[in-house]
Structure 1
Amino acid sequence: MSEPITPSAEPVPTTLSAEVETRLAGDLKSGRLAEIIAEIAEQASDVIRGFWHAGVVAEVKADDSPVTEADRAAERLILQKLEAEWPGVQTIAEEQACDQGLPSVGEGWFWLIDPLDGTRGFVAGREAFTVNIALVRNRHVVAGAVVAPATRTTWRSGPETGGAYRRHGQGPWQAIHVRQRPADPVALVSHSLTDEEAERLIRRHGCTRWQALDSSLKLCLIAEGRFDAYPRTGPTSEWDIAAGHGVLQAAGGRVITEDGNTLLYAKPGFGNGAFVALGG
């Protein structure tokens, strides 16, 4: 997960037409929007797999995080598809933000996109990298889709009323839900933590065991009831977790800040402070 990008530009947010806003709200309510963004993320996943294990070389960005042509190609596809479906909706995408600076957003709708979360693992040939698309409205994430290209697994939110789903390849969607917290809850943590730091962090949140994993997969695995918590203290960007937050929330979980409030978006610099993702 990347560190927040320092704002370097403030373009005026795009004005959304009443027609598109009505369509966006209707598609969100029906669940059509979540299905479409899942399909777009799967198409971006296909693009990324073409680079995987192909000797892709990472460049180092200004924030010291890596980027590859796979990141850029996937992001271009996502931006084009979203604009074609819902024209004029503000987009905050990781590589776009690095190249052009972070725009300002007000109350309203915008996309948060991380075309390839877990780039270091992707370059190293590991499987825990993801494609992430989320929709935010009035600072709350309202829909999300995450794809793991290596395993061809997709997670998404459902209609606005709730429900989350997972599928493998082009198979049928299956409903998922967080599990009731067991007597010995298990946490997921970032690979960047030392064993000592991980132990201290999981005890703070009442967990007895932990496993390290890259990318937004942590949020999705909690959503499908395999783990119970993901505590994070180090810096992350909003696009790192928004899509997974959308899936987890739809599956009955939550992402909260240290003061116990729901994590909100469109914060200054689009950076997150400490948070914990929780299942049941």
Structure 2
Amino acid sequence: MPSVTAVDPEDRIALLDAIAVLTREAGKIILPYYRSDTAVIDKMDGSPVTAADRAADAHIVPVLQALTPGIPVVAEESVEAGDIPDVSGGRFWLVDPLDGTKEFINKSTDFTVNIGLIWDGVPVLGALHTPVDGMVWGGVLGQGAWEEAEDGTRTAISVRKPGPDGLTIVASRSHRNPELEAYIGTMDVKESVSRGSALKFCLVARGDADLYPRTGPTMEWDTAAGHAVLLAAGGSMTKFDGTPFDYGKPAFRNGHFIARGG
């Protein structure tokens, strides 16, 4: 198994393989809840959480701690429970054990398991898993990105350059708002697609969409893994003013952002 010393590109590739397996393990924990009536409660911020979120979190966190001792793990449900590690060293994991809880509750397939590694404010490695169809997307900064089918077959992915007939924009299914619609209205848009969870990053990373703008609230664990895959696939992500989108912000709360392909 890779260790905390996994800072070189070759080590990060091996580490990503382990993280991809971990996302699949979490997906297997989640699916029985998805296929049954799931108990839902409201968190302090009013957002929903399910037993599946907590079960996946309880599996992922100790595995990461054993895999990379010394690298703090910031996981959504653990933070909600008051377990907030010190990330002042600039190197930490960000975990959303079930991103797209509303999609999950509504029996949509657009929910993901997200695990991303932050290194000095930059997402350098990440994996996302969609449990229903068995897909995993992964990437290491500077080493490329891939998608992995349920049977383990991997295919390299990369962003595309926008075509002359306009942009394909992918946006939130559950969090569209007037500010977002106004922004989209300024673009030369060929098609606007609504999808849930961090899957939107993967659609840009694999060249199915050109732009993913977000004006609604997100947390760092919502974006880190997808941001990492996007960067590895040749894309970029900035704040709306064009400045870098970084990590380790107060309360791990994100501002607005634009994820771009080529």
**TM-score under structure 2 normalisation?**
0.93
Q: Are 2:36 and 1:54 aligned?
A: yes
Per-residue deviation, 1:165: 0.4
Per-residue deviation, 1:101: 5.2
Aligned CA-pair RMSD: 1.9
Secondary structure (helix, strand or coil) at the match of 1:47 reads: helix
Q: Which amino acid aligns with 1:178?
A: V
Structure 2: which 5+ residue stretches go unaligned? none
Alignment CA distance shift 1:189-1:88 (3 Å): same
Q: Which amino acid aligns with 2:217?
A: P
In structure 2, distance between residues paired with 1:236 and 1:28: 31
Q: Are 2:236 and 1:261 aligned?
A: no
1:74-121 superposed Cα distances (whole Å, 9 cap, x missing partner): 111111211221123101100000011544421331000000001111
Secondary structure (helix, strand or coil) at the match of 2:189 reads: coil
In structure 2, distance between residues paired with 1:195 and 1:79: 33
Q: Is the 8 A contact 1:220 1:248 kept in 2?
A: yes
Alignment CA distance shift 1:193-1:89 (3 Å): closer
Q: Percent identity?
A: 38
Alignment CA distance shift 1:193-1:43 (3 Å): closer
Q: Which amino acid aligns with 1:152?
A: G
Per-residue deviation, 1:201: 2.2
Per-residue deviation, 1:266: 0.2
Secondary structure (helix, strand or coil) at the match of 1:31 reads: helix
Per-residue deviation, 1:216: 0.1
**TM-score under structure 1 normalisation?**
0.87
Q: Are 2:141 and 1:166 aligned?
A: no
In structure 2, distance between residues paired with 1:122 and 1:227: 23
In structure 1, distance between residues paired with 2:70 and 2:41: 31
1:220-264 superposed Cα distances (whole Å, 9 cap, x missing partner): 111000011111112110000110000011000011112212210
Report the counterpart of residue 88 of structure 1 in structure 2: 70
Q: Are 2:161 and 1:180 aligned?
A: yes
In structure 2, distance between residues paired with 1:229 and 1:28: 30
Q: Are 2:34 and 1:69 aligned?
A: no
Report the counterpart of residue 10 of structure 1 in structure 2: none
Q: Is the 8 A contact 1:92 1:110 kept in 2?
A: yes
Where does structure 1 differ by over 6 angstroms across 4 or more consecutive aligned residues? none
Q: Which amino acid aligns with 2:101?
A: T
Alignment CA distance shift 1:194-1:40 (3 Å): closer
Report the counterpart of residue 215 of structure 1 in structure 2: 197
Q: Is the 8 A contact 2:180 2:213 kept in 1?
A: no
In structure 2, distance between residues paired with 1:270 and 1:213: 23
Per-residue deviation, 1:197: 5.2
In structure 2, distance between residues paired with 1:61 and 1:200: 30
1:10-43 superposed Cα distances (whole Å, 9 cap, x missing partner): xxxxxxxxx954x221476451111111110111
